[in-house]
Structure 1
Amino acid sequence: MRRTRTGAAAALATLLATATACGGGSADSGGGSNTAPRELTYWASNQGADIPADQAALGPELKKFEEETGIKVKLEVIPWSDLLNRILAATASGQGPDVLNIGNTWSSSLQATGALLPWDAENFEAIGGKDRFVASALGSAGAAGRDPAAVPLYSMSYALYYNKKMFKEAGIEKPPATWDEMVTVGRKLSRDGTWALGAEGSNPSNNIHQVFVLSQQHGASFFDAAGRPTFDTPGNVDAVKQYVDLMAKDRIIAPGNAEYDKNQSLQDFAGGKTAMVLWQNAASSFKAHGMKEGDWGTAPVPVPAGGVPGSGKNVNSMVAGINLAVFKNTDNLDGALKFVKFMTSDEEQKILNRTYGSIPPVKAAQSDPAFANEDLAVLRTTLATSAAPLPQVPEESQFETAVGTAVKELFADAAAGRPVTAESVRARLTKAQQMMAG
């Protein structure tokens, strides 16, 4: 595929708050041309148990698209630990795919690079119209007041998954509803070589998702009203320390989880090594690792003592989801729009979201009975009543990297037996804030 290079190499270092990263392609790259390339490159995020599972799930659907349109799709499934860096490198160099998955939390940051196709009225019309999508999902597709940088593909929220057999054997009747209960229950479950809770301590994005929720519960924010970073405020220090202390102090997370970054915590849960995990829409991964319906239960993420999931300090999830974006300089815009239309069609939305245990952001697809089960009922309620969006600022992806890495380093300290104190947490967060300023 042809890609134009520009002078935007600084995007990789600074996340390009303002510069345009990619050019508009060549004069013959627009839609409708009989000479348009008959191939697309698609970067998919790792949604299933592992990369082979995603390849197996997506392969038949991409073949179906090829049979309908004559356009072959070259698929690459990219782990979450690599995806953001790959995208940033592509925006800087101009060497990217035609179509790609992005975490919805990155939408504003990647929109600011200028590399992604804006979804204006004409482009939405090409895929069936904007009003087909749930409004909250579109709200996480770019900065307010601008055309979205992507369209929603999968909607998600976090839940607490627990192993019913391990709970029964430990004499625990119900999952923890508060963090105090989490620690109490967790200590009963952490015994005989098993651990209470799994974590992905080396995954900056997952770290951010967890500490963002705790920050909200502490009444804090990582940015002020003007969009300036406030990483090392007391509430954020308390939030980060509370999360890392689940390993460092409470000892309900295995020290080895400090090195996890590629869904190993899901494998541990499915294998009976841990009794609980905090994750987004994990049912399909559990099944892929050998669990059966009924082996696990699903509950809301814990909130502070005395609280119930809801707004304010009882937020218990970020608004999660995967969006589908098109690189603006694709040399096959017509094909890319057809592919997005296919992937967001009512029928394909049912197939894909059933496969991944996620919630369709396309309204008509939600009527399928498959999306009314116990797991998704918890997730849908969370999205509707107790989830909050991550900061909608151009520097959001830089924030994920800086603070998520600080949490990663603190987990490494905990695993090595080094003390994790309020002072050490504040120092890491101050350093992360200085990195943002630089």
Structure 2
Amino acid sequence: MSQRKLTRRDFLKFAGTSLAAASATGLLASCGPQATPTPAAAKATPVASVAPTQPAAKPTAAPAKGKTLVVAIQAFAHDAMKPVLAGWEAKTGNKVTLESGPATGQEMMTKYAPPFQSGTSPVDVLSVDDVSGPAFARAGWLMPLDEIIPQETWKDFPEGMLPSVDKDYFHSYNGKRYRVPHEFAVGYFWYRKDWFEEKKVSVPKTWDEFVTVGKAFTKDGVWGTTEGMKKPGLTFVYLAYLAAQTGGDIFKFDDATAKAFQFAYDLIYTHKIMPETVLAEDYTQQNDRYMKDTVAMMRQWPYFWDVARGNTAWYKEGRADIALPPAGPAGPKTWYGGWGWSVPKAAPNAEEAKDLIAWITSNANAPTLAKGQSWFVMPRKSILDAMGNTGLPVYMNQYTKAGCLVPRPYHPKQSDAETVVDDIGQLYLTKQMSLADAMKAGRERIAALG
């Protein structure tokens, strides 16, 4: 593959997005909350001026001041970041300002592609998702991190999460790594354990049982299950989840993918255990529905662990438990993806940024971040050792041992390909297209991407 730098036109063609259009909407690549209140970015504390020690007639040069670096990450993670950043500030004399980063891949490209293309960067270190990260790396806008991140950090990740560079499509390009994962986003199966015990109902282990249990709960304003499937992005997330359970290659729109589409349709219209309104709802609405005691079970990302427990007026033990996903024809599968740290090639403070990203991702600091926010919980050895048999790591290990985890579906034009699934899925699920026509249209649109 050629290693030439992409032009802006090349980048837009690769990423499959018009920056002008993307300013209005964004493809969800985020596995974090969408409507979390955004705290003000932490302000850098100015360095106090130092009075000259020599007589005024013989002034000396002013002492060198530390630099101020900008780190961009979604606002809900800022509080967890602050203790780790404070340690680096104390060590180096530099300061860090936290900026609220975009929540979706499309927004990432809209915000950062123009300055990166012009050879500048408004940030020194940033959190990038599975869509924008690979696109930025292929465009030549990110620093390779192989020599910046110590080997002990790389070795802290399991091979399944960070495979060899020639097989790692989301963190590597042309034999080099450009992103260090900080999130392991798994679509977990959440359920109301208290309700299940009250009704003496077992957790569903298959699709058939999922439908049966869903029907048992669907009455009097309560739904068996729910989802957020609003465009852009969320339709893809759920259909890819079901396709993992059928063994489908979703970007090929194959027969197994058709089964996934059909099952989603049946949950809404045939079995009627999922409200039709999910097609226009986001994750905030999904979570709200669940925490209003009107849903028995659902698929949702790990951050719901903190969302549920943070709702102290509602949360009690048994209200947001995790079980293995119901098995489709290919088993109890769910896909994983996530966000990771990168350094722009044009970072204003490049050398300091290299040191900072090594500090943030170190084996010593990874557990601190994980304990501060579930978004940072990953199957890294340092995190599992520190957190032990508590919280999300319990279920992460459970899913791993049960063979539930499959990688996020990959396409060289990830953004475009996911948009195709979004579009076709919505047309089919709103009864504007037959299943056969949907699969045919999907294959044709994917083929047109080249």
TM-score bracket, normalised by the shorter chain, equals 0.7 to 0.9
Counterpart contact for 1:177–1:300, Cα < 8 Å? yes
Counterparts of 2:236 and 2:8, CA distance in 1: 27
Counterparts of 2:233 and 2:399, CA distance in 1: 20
In the alignment, what sits opposite 2:145? Answer: 119
Deviation of the 1:88 alpha carbon: 5.2
Counterparts of 1:250 and 1:79, CA distance in 2: 37
Q: Could you state the TM-score of these two structures normalised by the residue count of structure 2?
A: 0.75
In the alignment, what sits opposite 1:174? Answer: 202
Residue number among 302, 311, 314 corresponding to 1:289 in the alignment: 311
Q: Give the SS at the match of 1:253.
A: coil
Q: Could you state the TM-score of these two structures normalised by the residue count of structure 1?
A: 0.77
Counterparts of 1:14 and 1:321, CA distance in 2: 20
Counterparts of 2:262 and 2:102, CA distance in 1: 27
1:344-355 pair list within 5 angstroms: 344-355=361-372
Amino acid in structure 1 at the alignment position of 2:96: V
Higher relative contact order (CA 8 A, sep 6+): 1
In the alignment, what sits opposite 1:217? Answer: 245
Deviation of the 1:242 alpha carbon: 1.8
Pair 376,133 (structure 1): closer, same or farther in 2 beyond 3 Å? closer
1:120-269 pair list within 5 angstroms: 120=146, 122-125=147-150, 129-139=153-163, 140=168, 141-143=170-172, 146-169=175-198, 171-222=199-250, 230-231=252-253, 233-269=254-290
Counterparts of 2:91 and 2:327, CA distance in 1: 48
Tell me the C-alpha RMSD between the 2 structures. Answer: 3.3
Q: Give the SS at the match of 2:160.
A: helix
What is the number of residues matched between the two proteins? 387
Residue number among 349, 354, 360 corresponding to 1:343 in the alignment: 360
Amino acid in structure 1 at the alignment position of 2:14: T
Amino acid in structure 2 at the alignment position of 1:364: S
In the alignment, what sits opposite 1:11? Answer: 11
User: Cα deviations across residues 224-246 of structure 1 (Å, max 9, x unaligned)?
Assistant: xxxxxx23x33222222322432
Residue number among 397, 407, 410 corresponding to 1:389 in the alignment: 407
Amino acid in structure 1 at the alignment position of 2:107: N
Deviation of the 1:201 alpha carbon: 0.6
Question: Gapped runs of 5+ residues in structure 2?
Answer: 18-62
Amino acid in structure 2 at the alignment position of 1:289: N
Counterpart contact for 2:334–2:404, Cα < 8 Å? yes
User: Cα deviations across residues 4-54 of structure 1 (Å, max 9, x unaligned)?
Assistant: x9941442343189xxxxxxxxxxxxxxxx989822232224xxxxx5x43
Question: Gapped runs of 5+ residues in structure 1?
Answer: 18-33, 46-50, 224-229, 306-312
Deviation of the 1:405 alpha carbon: 3.8
Counterparts of 1:187 and 1:78, CA distance in 2: 41
In the alignment, what sits opposite 2:124? Answer: 98
Q: Give the SS at the match of 2:338.
A: strand
Counterparts of 2:94 and 2:298, CA distance in 1: 40
Amino acid in structure 2 at the alignment position of 1:314: G
In the alignment, what sits opposite 1:436? Answer: 449
Moved more, 176-185 or 352-361: 352-361
Counterparts of 1:67 and 1:135, CA distance in 2: 34
User: Cα deviations across residues 221-268 of structure 1 (Å, max 9, x unaligned)?
Assistant: 145xxxxxx23x332222223224322332222222222224331232
Q: Give the SS at the match of 2:321.
A: strand
Amino acid in structure 2 at the alignment position of 1:124: I
Amino acid in structure 2 at the alignment position of 1:301: P
Amino acid in structure 1 at the alignment position of 2:129: G
Counterparts of 2:221 and 2:436, CA distance in 1: 32
Counterpart contact for 2:122–2:348, Cα < 8 Å? no
Counterparts of 2:177 and 2:131, CA distance in 1: 13
Residue number among 401, 419, 423 corresponding to 2:436 in the alignment: 423
Deviation of the 1:360 alpha carbon: 3.2
Larger radius of gyration: 2
Q: Give the SS at the match of 1:276.
A: strand
Q: Give the SS at the match of 2:184.
A: strand
Q: Give the SS at the match of 1:319.
A: strand
Q: Give the SS at the match of 1:207.
A: helix
Counterparts of 1:106 and 1:42, CA distance in 2: 17
Q: Give the SS at the match of 1:137.
A: coil
In the alignment, what sits opposite 2:390? Answer: 373
Counterparts of 1:129 and 1:110, CA distance in 2: 23
Deviation of the 1:60 alpha carbon: 4.5
Counterpart contact for 2:240–2:409, Cα < 8 Å? no
Counterparts of 2:389 and 2:426, CA distance in 1: 36
Counterparts of 2:98 and 2:448, CA distance in 1: 35
Pair 193,65 (structure 1): closer, same or farther in 2 beyond 3 Å? farther
Counterparts of 1:212 and 1:62, CA distance in 2: 36
Deviation of the 1:410 alpha carbon: 4.2
Counterpart contact for 2:201–2:213, Cα < 8 Å? no
Residue number among 99, 120, 123 corresponding to 1:76 in the alignment: 99
Deviation of the 1:110 alpha carbon: 3.9
Pair 58,432 (structure 1): closer, same or farther in 2 beyond 3 Å? farther
Deviation of the 1:406 alpha carbon: 3.1
Counterpart contact for 2:428–2:434, Cα < 8 Å? no
Pair 239,166 (structure 1): closer, same or farther in 2 beyond 3 Å? same
Counterparts of 2:433 and 2:423, CA distance in 1: 15
